[in-house]
């Protein structure tokens, strides 16, 4: 009875571990792509030029490019307040006002949370896959392929739903996102006076959202293709199952009387 109970516990833990893997895999893909975009200075520079940030802010592009690099550093370092000084009309001025600086504190907290989720999900996925490879047989490897497809399928469905919502009304979706994530209204900035929203207008974030969605979808398709290929080739290379039929034991065979040959 003790062995049976232990077996039930191990089965339960195995199922919980599988559920965590199915959830962690899409989280890993999404957070990795968000992290890539958040730390990609070339994308910032592209945005500054695509949305005429120099004209909107009155600050030269080289100064904006440098500010973009300092924002990326701010996400990575331990500074609590973002302080950037730029040359505007021949004078050294603070790039952001107090309201913008407070909002950037909230943005940094959100970005750092995404980074932590990315790191935890990566660690769990690697540990789970390593455990399957080291201690499991062919059957579990095939199950891993199925679980990976379920995970990316669920993540892809969620991203597709968000994408459809964004395409039909990104403005309202973006505002709703801020209302859910942030506990204050520091994110409500004036595009006529506040440099932060002039540098990163709504179009910038819409483009970033589409890029994250496209990258995640491409990675999900790649995982599905690899999983299906493994399932196909491992099935093709597996030995054929034994023929079904009535087995006759040696003892039964001995009991059967021998029939004389005809003639």
**pLDDT tens, position by position, for the chain (263 residues)?**
566 677 778 778 888 988 999 999 999 999 999 999 999 999 999 999 999 999 999 999 999 999 999 999 999 999 999 999 998 777 899 999 999 999 999 999 999 999 999 999 999 999 998 887 777 654 577 888 888 888 888 777 777 766 676 667 788 888 888 999 999 999 999 999 999 999 999 999 999 988 998 898 899 899 999 999 988 888 755 554 544 444 444 444 444 555 554 44
The verdict on residue 50 lying in a domain is: no
The verdict on residue 128 lying in a domain is: yes
The verdict on residue 160 lying in a domain is: yes
Its domain, for residue 150, covers 2-40+106-238
CB 122 within 8 A of CB 114: no
- Tell me the backbone φ, ψ of residue 248, rounded to 5 degrees: -115, 120
Q: Is 122 exposed, middle or buried (0-12, 13-18, 19+ CB in 10 A)?
A: middle
3-class DSSP state for residue 64?
helix
The verdict on residue 246 lying in a domain is: no
Using alpha carbons, list the distances in angstroms from residue 172 to 9, 39, 161, 169, 178: 47, 26, 15, 6, 10
CB 45 within 8 A of CB 9: no
Name the pTM for this structure.
0.81
The verdict on residue 28 lying in a domain is: yes
The verdict on residue 232 lying in a domain is: yes
- Where do runs of H (alpha helix) occur along the chain? 2-38, 41-50, 53-57, 61-76, 98-135, 138-181, 195-199, 202-237, 250-255
CB 215 within 8 A of CB 40: no
The verdict on residue 216 lying in a domain is: yes
Q: How many domains in the chain?
A: 1
């Amino acid at each position: 009875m003790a062995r049976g109970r232990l077996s039930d516990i191990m089965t339960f833990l195995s199922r919980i571990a599988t559920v965590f893997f199915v959830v962690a895999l899409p989280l890993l893909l999404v957070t990795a792509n968000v992290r890539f975009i958040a730390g990609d200075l070339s994308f910032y520079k592209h945005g500054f030029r695509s949305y005429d940030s120099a004209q909107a802010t009155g600050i030269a592009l080289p100064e904006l490019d440098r500010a973009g690099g300092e924002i990326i550093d701010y996400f990575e370092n331990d500074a609590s307040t973002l302080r950037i000084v730029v040359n505007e009309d021949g004078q050294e001025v603070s790039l952001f006002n107090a309201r913008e600086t407070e909002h950037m504190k909230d943005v940094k907290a959100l970005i750092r949370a995404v980074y932590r989720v990315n790191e935890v999900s990566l660690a769990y996925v690697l540990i789970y896959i390593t455990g399957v490879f080291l201690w499991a047989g062919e059957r579990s490897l095939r199950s891993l392929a199925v679980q990976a497809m379920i995970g990316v399928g669920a993540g892809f469905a969620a991203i597709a739903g968000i994408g459809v919502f964004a395409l039909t009304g990104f403005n309202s979706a973006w505002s709703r996102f801020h209302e859910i994530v942030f506990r204050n209204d520091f994110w409500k900035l004036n595009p006529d006076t506040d440099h932060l929203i002039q540098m990163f207008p709504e179009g910038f974030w819409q483009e970033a959202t589409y890029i994250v969605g496209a990258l995640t979808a491409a990675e999900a398709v790649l995982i599905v293709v690899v999983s299906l290929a493994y399932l196909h080739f491992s099935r093709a290379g597996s030995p054929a199952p034994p023929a079904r039929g009535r087995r006759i034991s040696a003892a039964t065979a001995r009991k059967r009387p021998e029939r004389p040959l005809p003639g």
